[in-house]
């Protein structure tokens, strides 16, 4: 809860910046960006033969089963008290259920590269929400990192505005998914849950699954599994369930517990750039100059956010 002595949400000097980021966050961010970047063109590939909500139901069921199995084998505490169930349900609705429905439906309507860019505009919402709900201070480094990252996304969007204009529903759905994800990320910091990360992730998936499964039954027809489809579609569905749905999702929740909501949201802006390039590799999209320029801007934003200030580097060298 924000106290009366909390500083005003304005740009602050670096002395008030976020504490040093644990070393493990760097490799988790890199792996998450790679896995999620690859997952977008693979999901688009799966949607060529599977209905959106049916596909999402399959991937969530696989992820949920794997997460509970890992938690059980590792001895992680799984018991969820009735007292925190409403809070967990709200977190699941924003982090997974609502986000998944809007995301997968929007992806069905737009190319994978453009869909990734729109979905990862969520730092636009996370930074002001974290200031409002968490009392986080906006430092100069956060502002610079946010501006650079969003400029990179704006470059990628620039050439696609005309196409997106022809599919306003898909664009609106993906922007909505970004807003849901931002709200869920900030609420995770505001409402911490005393569970191991793997157990928390498993419960989030379980609480979201019935919502998406029922929507699939009501609005779509077809099969819920990819088996019997082309081999690339089977691989894409299994990757979404067991790599992106378990490993990357676990790492993302772990990252959010280790660093601030604003910093984690800005840092993950590398994913849409990876999505554009993997889309070119898998789906045959041709990267343009703006794609390379965006990569430079987004990597620059990561440097502003994640690298320690120069005085701290000099102090470490002197010691």
For the segment 278-300, what is each residue's pLDDT rounded down to a tens digit? 988 898 877 777 777 877 887 77
pLDDT(18) > 50: no
DSSP 12: B
Instruction: Please state the rounded mean pLDDT for residues 173-199.
Output: 89
In terms of Cα–Cα distance, which of 270, 311, 1, 283 is closest to 150? 270
Q: Does residue 310 form part of some domain?
A: yes
Question: CA–CA separation, 173 vs 239, rounded Å?
Answer: 24
Per residue in 26-44, pLDDT tens?
Answer: 888 889 989 999 999 999 9
Q: Does residue 17 form part of some domain?
A: no
pLDDT(301) > 50: yes
Length of the chain: 319
In terms of Cα–Cα distance, which of 288, 316, 249 is closest to 60? 249
| Containing structural domain, residue 120 | 22-74+81-318
Q: Does residue 9 form part of some domain?
A: no
pLDDT(3) > 50: no
CA 136 to chain centre: 20
For 47-82, give one letter per residue: b (16+ CB within 10 A) or e.
bebbbbbbbbbbbbbbbbbbbbebbeeeebeeebee
Work out how many domains the chain is built from and give that number: 1
DSSP 230: -
Query: Could you tell me the two tokens for 312?
Result: 């701290």
Question: CA–CA separation, 170 vs 279, rounded Å?
Answer: 18
Instruction: Please state the rounded mean pLDDT for residues 86-111.
Output: 93
């Amino acid at each position: 809860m924000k106290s009366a002595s909390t500083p005003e949400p304005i740009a602050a000097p670096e002395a008030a910046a976020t504490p040093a980021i644990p070393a493990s966050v760097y490799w988790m961010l890199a792996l998450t960006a790679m896995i999620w970047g690859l997952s977008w063109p693979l999901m688009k590939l799966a949607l060529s033969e599977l209905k959106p909500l049916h596909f999402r139901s399959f991937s969530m069921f696989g992820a949920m089963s794997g997460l509970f199995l890992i938690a059980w084998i590792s001895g992680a505490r799984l018991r969820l008290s009735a007292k925190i169930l409403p809070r967990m349900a709200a977190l699941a609705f924003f982090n997974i259920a609502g986000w998944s429905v809007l995301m997968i439906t929007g992806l069905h309507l737009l190319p994978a590269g453009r869909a990734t860019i729109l979905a990862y505009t969520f730092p636009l919402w996370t930074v002001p929400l974290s200031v409002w709900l968490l009392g986080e201070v906006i430092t100069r480094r956060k502002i610079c990192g946010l501006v650079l990252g969003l400029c990179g996304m704006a470059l990628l969007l620039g050439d696609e505005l005309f196409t997106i204009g022809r599919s306003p529903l898909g664009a609106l759905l993906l922007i909505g998914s970004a807003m849901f994800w931002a709200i869920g990320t900030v609420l995770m910091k505001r409402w911490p849950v005393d569970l191991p990360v793997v157990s928390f992730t498993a419960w989030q998936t379980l609480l979201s699954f019935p919502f998406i499964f029922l929507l699939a039954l009501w609005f779509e027809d077809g099969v819920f599994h990819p088996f019997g489809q082309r081999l690339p579609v089977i691989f894409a569905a299994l990757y979404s369930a067991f790599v992106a749905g378990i490993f990357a999702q676990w790492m993302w929740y772990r990252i959010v517990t280790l660093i601030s909501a604003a910093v984690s949201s800005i840092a993950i802006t590398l994913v849409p750039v990876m999505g554009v390039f993997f889309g070119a590799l898998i789906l045959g999209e041709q990267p343009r100059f703006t794609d390379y320029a965006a990569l430079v801007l987004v990597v620059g934003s990561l440097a502003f956010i994640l690298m320690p200030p120069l005085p701290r580097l000099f102090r470490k060298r002197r010691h």
